[in-house]
Copies of this chain bind each other. A is one copy, B any other.
């Protein structure tokens, strides 16, 4: 086809089975739960726990894990700022497809830049993007260091590491903020419960 413009001569295909029909089949509403925070802040743990809790209630969810996707669709991308942006953009576009398919899509990525997260939010209808901020102190994340990455970053063996020599921009208006309680971290199931309650209250777990 044309090489003049990227979007010339491309038509939009509509189909009789749409989001509403799929949501009815699943008895849930498609949405994106976007978990953001530092490495080691507990994003993946929350994602898994939430997925388990939803499954036990008969709800279909799917986790888009930033690290896992870098082995697949995003394997051509590195960690330069423009690559990070493209990485987040693609995950946002895929999350949008999953929400359109009727699933509760759980995206778990550091996603350090506010503008990149906001661009993903803008892809979705209002209220269907639920930003969950793992607001954990850097010291805690660094002390966990399950992947040993903070150590490498401090030793200068990794450059541009979020929280060390690359910024993490906190959300300004996230839907859910996860924090320590008097210096104690809640158990994963309790954290998942916070998100679950939100989803329930907003009507995502059933179709009227």
Contacts and interface: CB of A to CB of B under 8 A. Distances in A.
Interface of A: 1-3, 5-7, 9-13, 15-17, 21-22, 25-26, 44, 47-48, 51-52, 55, 58, 60-65, 67-68, 70-73, 75-80, 89-90, 93-94, 96-98, 100-103, 108, 123, 147, 149, 152, 157-162
Contact of A159 (B2, B22, B47): B2
A15 B96 contact: no
Contacts of A7: 70-71, 75
11 contacts: A1-B158, A3-B78, A11-B147, A15-B48, A16-B51, A17-B52, A22-B60, A60-B102, A94-B97, A101-B101, A101-B103
B9 A147 contact: yes
Copies in the complex: 2
Contacts of A102: 60
A15 B44 CA distance: 9
Nearest to A93: B73
A3 B55 contact: no
Contact of A75 (B6, B13, B77): B6
Nearest to A146: B11
Which residue among A13, A71, A98 has the maximum number of chain B CB atoms within 10 Å of its CB? A13
A84 to B, nearest CB: 9
A158 B65 CA distance: 39
Given A1-B149, A2-B158, A72-B96, 15 more contacts: A1-B158, A2-B79, A2-B159, A6-B78, A7-B70, A9-B149, A11-B147, A12-B71, A13-B65, A15-B52, A16-B52, A25-B58, A25-B60, A60-B101, A73-B94
